[in-house]
Amino acid sequence: MIQLCGCSGCHISLLDLHDKLLEVLPNLEIVYAPIIADPKEIPEGIDVFLVEGGIRNEHDEHLIHEIREKSKIVIAWGTCAAYGGIPGLANLYSKEELLNYVYSTDSTDNKGEIPSEEIPPLEEYVKPISAVVKVDYVIPGCPPTPEMIADAIVALLNGEEPKLPTKIVCDECPRKKENVFPEKFKRTYEGRPDPEKCLFEQGYPCLGFATRAGCGARCPNAGVPCRGCFGKTDKSLDLGANAANVLANSGEAALEIPDKVALLNRFTLPDALINRKVK
């Protein structure tokens, strides 16, 4: 296991297995996991490597090549590894714009000087690990549910392929749907949504209709629109493009949605058909 450009949330989700860990761990030998131990080198002959986080700098890219070379199975563990995740929104800006903004603000003490010593240079843009090496399986989510992680591990231990849900979040959502399109869209904080009715039909830009199931519709159940953190389904090339096609049915109302790119590809921009700002 390793974390590249991520937040360790996937590792924490693994720990959230609690007692179920006791059922899985006796069948595993963890040989490389910096968040658990302090290994110096990635050993040879790894059966399964879980990779959290995407590719942001040269060190990330070097590691993922080494991991691929030394592992039989590589799993993109979580949405950052699979699709780029929230860090992927940095692709809306050039590398130079990002560095100049961060190191020219008053909150830093280096007076605009961009550090270069002992810091891996940034790549031009954020990439999912599949853009660099072959990925055998994906466990999506921000983070994945503990159950999905456990199911994948057990499947591999039994010599089977991990299986992902093929449906969408709307299929898991208990809210009542009338198959109508809103005439106006709201921000998440505007008003109080009816707890029984579909959030999208109430005018909240919920992306459950374009997002892979597996989370149990946790956000809509809590009155918050789905933001697409489980990524696209098997039948979709681009979550954002799919969502845009549906939103277009609301006509001019969809044009009023602010920050459309960050909404439609909030977790998946590096994996989108148009995946970064072009100079």
Each residue's pLDDT tens digit in the chain (279 positions)? 788 887 889 988 988 887 777 777 788 888 888 877 777 899 999 999 999 999 999 999 999 999 999 999 999 999 999 999 999 999 999 998 988 888 876 555 656 677 777 788 899 999 999 999 999 999 999 999 999 998 998 899 889 999 999 999 999 999 999 999 999 999 888 889 999 999 999 999 999 999 999 999 999 999 999 999 999 999 999 999 999 999 999 998 898 888 888 899 999 999 999 998 776
- Tell me which amino acid residue 48 is: V
**pTM of this prediction exceeds 0.75:** yes
The Cβ of residue 155 has, within 10 Å, a number of other Cβ atoms equal to 14
Q: What is the bridge-based pairing of β-strands 2-3 and 46-52?
A: parallel
Instruction: Kindly tell me the sign of the dihedral angle through the C-alpha atoms of 88, 94, 95, 96.
Output: negative
| Bridge partners, 74 (sequence order) | 49
What distance in Å separates the CA atoms of residue 122 and residue 217, rounded to the nearest whole number? 35
Find, among 134, 11, 162, 159, the residue nearest to 77 by Cα.
Answer: 11
The Cβ of residue 108 has, within 10 Å, a number of other Cβ atoms equal to 12
What distance in Å separates the CA atoms of residue 59 and residue 35, rounded to the nearest whole number? 17
- Tell me which amino acid residue 161 is: E
What distance in Å separates the CA atoms of residue 127 and residue 8, rounded to the nearest whole number? 18
What length is written for the chain? 279
Q: Where are the alpha helices (DSSP H) in 208-259?
A: 218-221, 239-247, 252-255
Residues 6+ apart with CB under 8 A from 211: 168, 169, 226, 228, 229, 230, 231, 232, 233, 239
Q: Which two tokens stand for residue 131?
A: 């853009």
Please name each of the domains of the chain with its CATH number: 2-157 (3.40.50.700), 165-274 (no CATH)
Q: What is the bridge-based pairing of β-strands 71-77 and 122-127?
A: unpaired
Give the rounded distance of the alpha carbon of 165 from its chain centre: 16
SS3 at position 13: helix
